[in-house]
Amino acid sequence: MDADSSSLQSRGTRKRRKMQRVTMMDVAKLAQVSPSTVSLYLRKPAAVSPAAGKEIARAISTLGYVPNLVAGGLAAASSKVVSIIVPSIRNAFFAETVSTLQSELAAEGLQVLLGHSEYGEDQEEALVRTALSWAPAAVVLTGLSHSAETLKLLQASGVPVVEMWELGGKPIDMAVGFSHPHVGASAARHLLSKDRRTLAFLGARMQEDHRAEKRASGFSETACTEDLVACEIINHPGAATVEAGSLLLNRALQQLPNLDGIACSNDLIALGALFECQRRGIVVPDGIAVVGFGDLDFSASCIPSLTTIRPSGDLIGREVARLILNSIQGQHPEGAARIIDTGHVLIERRST
Amino acid sequence: MDADSSSLQSRGTRKRRKMQRVTMMDVAKLAQVSPSTVSLYLRKPAAVSPAAGKEIARAISTLGYVPNLVAGGLAAASSKVVSIIVPSIRNAFFAETVSTLQSELAAEGLQVLLGHSEYGEDQEEALVRTALSWAPAAVVLTGLSHSAETLKLLQASGVPVVEMWELGGKPIDMAVGFSHPHVGASAARHLLSKDRRTLAFLGARMQEDHRAEKRASGFSETACTEDLVACEIINHPGAATVEAGSLLLNRALQQLPNLDGIACSNDLIALGALFECQRRGIVVPDGIAVVGFGDLDFSASCIPSLTTIRPSGDLIGREVARLILNSIQGQHPEGAARIIDTGHVLIERRST
DNA sequence: TGACTTTATCATAGCGCTACGATTAGCCAT
DNA sequence: ATGGCTAATCGTAGCGCTATGATAAAGTCA
């Protein structure tokens, strides 16, 4: 029999590898209070006496205690994590929203668990599944189209859900965004007001990006007035890049040699179109007027400066954060308050 | 006394709100095996008999069981989470790396916990602190400069750490990146080889962005050859944007009217400079040659196409993922294998 | 003064899972 | 048969914390 190795333990029962992490217990011992008081202090400092609080704070700092949120999450049956799922984080739109959201949530002690679905519903479903494994405080999704299974999972979980960047359908729980058809309509109206009658909508990846596709259909519906000469929707199967913009403009000109106005589903595409016009010697806006979408970094500074529609990814991020924070604090919004329209603004510049 | 409310409980002892979540126990019961077998099946399916495995799989799907990673993380003393801290996710460089990293890690069942420090060491420290609260499988930081406390925290935690996007100092644990002074040097050599002798380096936010600052100093050191006429480093305190590029070029021309070559700390700045040249009627590269950094989306398509240095955020992401995966599988790299130089490539286009 | 609040603190039962060691079944060599 | 192996399965003690109700101490009021 093992003579001394088990002397500390009453019997030779198996023992787990004891982490040598500083625990709340250690803090409690040093501060001469019970663990519950430490826990209470950490969650609502006002509820413990100033004397005890000071003692605990000292103990925490001398021991370098870092609370274990995993244990806390398990005990509280909900973790301080918000899971955000976007199609792509490389996309400047979503990068902006995620960035804002992260800042706002971090200020309230919430972490962001990030996933990107690459515009695939199956991928999204897998991400939602793992997200729920973390018992998150909330889940943020992009858009209103999700697989049936995703809906089921989320509904069953009872976790607050915010769908962002799209409005116009029935959200699972809450939604923050704007109407994409309306964006397309605004672009069309603007071009029509500039007396353009041979129009094209240049989009990328519209087989997967339903929101871009909705902007396109909103565009063509509104463009169809009596004296319209032509209106084409042209799609690039790959990602929305500057290069795609050049290609798309070329294709548009093949189909419509008299093209005089284009709307793009993304400012990157618009920039590519602008470059292609420059290469071909087409003057913007005299020859072709260009409307973009996104109001990205460069849109105000390019030549000519780009007329574009700003969706305000920033504002969306802030509103999503607000809804989440309210939900967590037990003030889950009801009825119409669960849907927030952040609208869009057309910013007229030199390209139209 | 409460007559019937406690009838189900043996005595009036306090009871916790029982989550009605489907647990591993439920699966075990339905599959007629013990919980340990279910756990084993989930972690290494090969270790249980095919018959039992099939039974368990069926139970999981009929119950819609979703494992609770929080509980798992607590029991295993390490969660399936990798914490990534970047200065800014709006920055296309980091967006690319994070995106790749997320994909690679997700493939191995790891989640990404994201934070951004806004180039602040204190913010970074706070993020590291929360990150460690999750007992992450690994922590990824940007750059090699961190607060003393951050270092202490990380060292004490024993968690694998990867520092990315910079090389040239002593990493905490592992590092993937490249030398920023070398990037600056490459740009300088390239401009010198094009017979440019009045040079400027245009950078943004260099008081905080140490890596940009290192590119600048690498540039000016290498540029200082005998027949150099002048070399200025010009900084814009705000973010690296296209507009900043225009402003910076103007300031450069004020200081050096005969300017004939510029290197920019970011392609966005280079694009702004390009636009400003166009506005002023300066022909690129005849009047001024322009070198960028980043090889962003638009760099190949703008007019003229931009000579730039590609750091490959993609490759960095992949290598970081590889190091992390190895570490987790117990093959923590040793010695030189802990530092990976992803290098940089100068891509010559029409702007030089 | 004693009954009743209020406030501060405490003791402890889980949260759902993994890891450890124990146990059992199945198989072969003696 | 018996013993010695492996392979498959099981039982259960924690992981570190929070929530719950209990308890003790300090006020409050009739």
Over the stretch B247-306, which tens digit does the pLDDT of each residue have? 999 999 999 999 999 999 999 999 999 999 999 999 999 999 999 999 999 999 999 999
A257 token code pair: 């040699």
Residue A322 · residue A329 · CB < 8 Å:
no
**In the 31-60 stretch of chain A, whose C-beta falls under 7 Å of nucleic acid strand C?**
32-37, 40, 47-49, 51-52
Q: How far is A153 from chain B (nearest CA, A)?
A: 9
**In the 6-25 stretch of chain A, whose C-beta falls under 7 Å of nucleic acid strand C?**
12, 14-17
Nucleotide nearest to B48 (CA to C1'): D8
User: Closest-CA residue in chain B for A239?
Assistant: B297
CA-to-C1' span, B40 to D15 (A): 18
Angle, to 10 degrees, between the axis of helix A121-133 and the axis of helix B69-76?
50
Burial of A161 (0-12, 13-18, 19+ CB in 10 A): buried
**In the 38-67 stretch of chain B, whose C-beta falls under 7 Å of nucleic acid strand D?**
40, 47-49, 51-52
Closest to B106 (Cβ–Cβ): which among A106, A115, A243? A115
Strand runs labelled E in A205-288: 230-236, 261-264
What confidence tens digit (pLDDT) does each residue in A32-82 have? 999 999 999 999 999 999 999 999 999 999 998 999 999 999 999 888 999
A108 token code pair: 């309230």
**In terms of DSSP bridges, do strands B307-310 and B345-347 run parallel, antiparallel, or are they unpaired?**
antiparallel
How far, in Å, CA of B258 to CA of B231, rounded?
Answer: 11
Q: How far is A97 from chain B (nearest CA, A)?
A: 9
The pLDDT of residue B21: 80
Residue A341 · residue A178 · CB < 8 Å:
yes
How far, in Å, CA of A134 to CA of B74, rounded?
Answer: 12
Comparing every residue's Cα with the C1' atom of nucleotide C21, the nearest one is: A14
% of chain B exceeding 70 in pLDDT: 94
For A291, phi then psi, to 5°, come to -120, 135
Residue B18 three-state SS: coil
Mutate to test the interface with A, among B14, B16, B69 (most CBs of A within 10 A): B69
CB–CB of A134 and B69 under 8 A? Answer: yes
- CA A329 to chain centroid, in Å, comes to 22
The pLDDT of residue A18: 56
Is residue A11 over pLDDT 70? no
Closest to B301 (Cβ–Cβ): which among A81, A99, A242? A242
% of chain A exceeding 70 in pLDDT: 94
Residue A289 · residue A71 · CB < 8 Å:
no
Q: Single out the residue of A58, A60, A76, A54 nearest to residue A26, CA to CA.
A: A60
Cα distances (angstroms) measured from residue B38 to each of A135, B68, B74? 20, 13, 18
Is residue B98 over pLDDT 50? yes
Alpha-carbon Rg for chain B in angstroms: 27
Q: What mean pLDDT do residues A78-88 have?
A: 93
* Other CB atoms within 10 A of residue B43 CB: 11
Cα distances (angstroms) measured from residue A334 to each of A136, A175, B9? 21, 12, 36
User: Does an H or E element contain A277, and which?
Assistant: helix A267-280
How far, in Å, CA of A294 to CA of A300, rounded?
Answer: 11
State the Cα torsion A187-A188-A193-A196 to the nearest 10°.
120
Q: What mean pLDDT do residues A85-98 have?
A: 94
Mutate to test the interface with A, among B133, B282, B305 (most CBs of A within 10 A): B133
The pLDDT of residue A200: 98
CB–CB of A268 and B130 under 8 A? Answer: no
* Residue type for position A138: A
Q: Single out the residue of A254, A31, A243 nearest to residue B299, CA to CA.
A: A243
- Give the model's confidence band at B11: pLDDT under 50 very low, under 70 low, under 90 confident, else very high: very low
Q: Single out the residue of A248, A261, A166 nearest to residue A204, CA to CA.
A: A248
How far, in Å, CA of B25 to CA of A345, rounded?
Answer: 54
Strand D and A63 CB separated by under 7 Å: no
User: Closest-CA residue in chain A for B298?
Assistant: A242
CA-to-C1' span, A71 to C22 (A): 28
* CB hemisphere CA count around A303 (13 angstroms): 18
Write the DSSP string, B245-264: HHHHHHHHHHH-TT--EEEE
Is residue A12 over pLDDT 80? no
How far, in Å, CA of B106 to CA of B126, rounded?
Answer: 25
Mutate to test the interface with B, among A134, A275, A277, A314 (most CBs of B within 10 A): A134
CB–CB of A115 and B116 under 8 A? Answer: no
CB–CB of A275 and B301 under 8 A? Answer: yes
How far, in Å, CA of A172 to CA of A163, rounded?
Answer: 8
Q: Single out the residue of A269, A249, A261 nearest to residue A220, CA to CA.
A: A261
What confidence tens digit (pLDDT) does each residue in B149-190 have? 999 999 988 899 999 999 999 999 999 999 999 999 999 999
The pLDDT of residue A269: 98
CA-to-C1' span, B305 to C28 (A): 75
Q: Name the pTM for this structure.
A: 0.90
What confidence tens digit (pLDDT) does each residue in A258-288 have? 999 999 999 999 999 999 999 999 999 999 9
CB–CB of A298 and B92 under 8 A? Answer: no
Strand D nucleotides where any atom sits below 7 Å of a protein CB: 8-22
Comparing every residue's Cα with the C1' atom of nucleotide D22, the nearest one is: B14
Angle at B188 between CA B185 and CA B189, to 5 degrees: 85
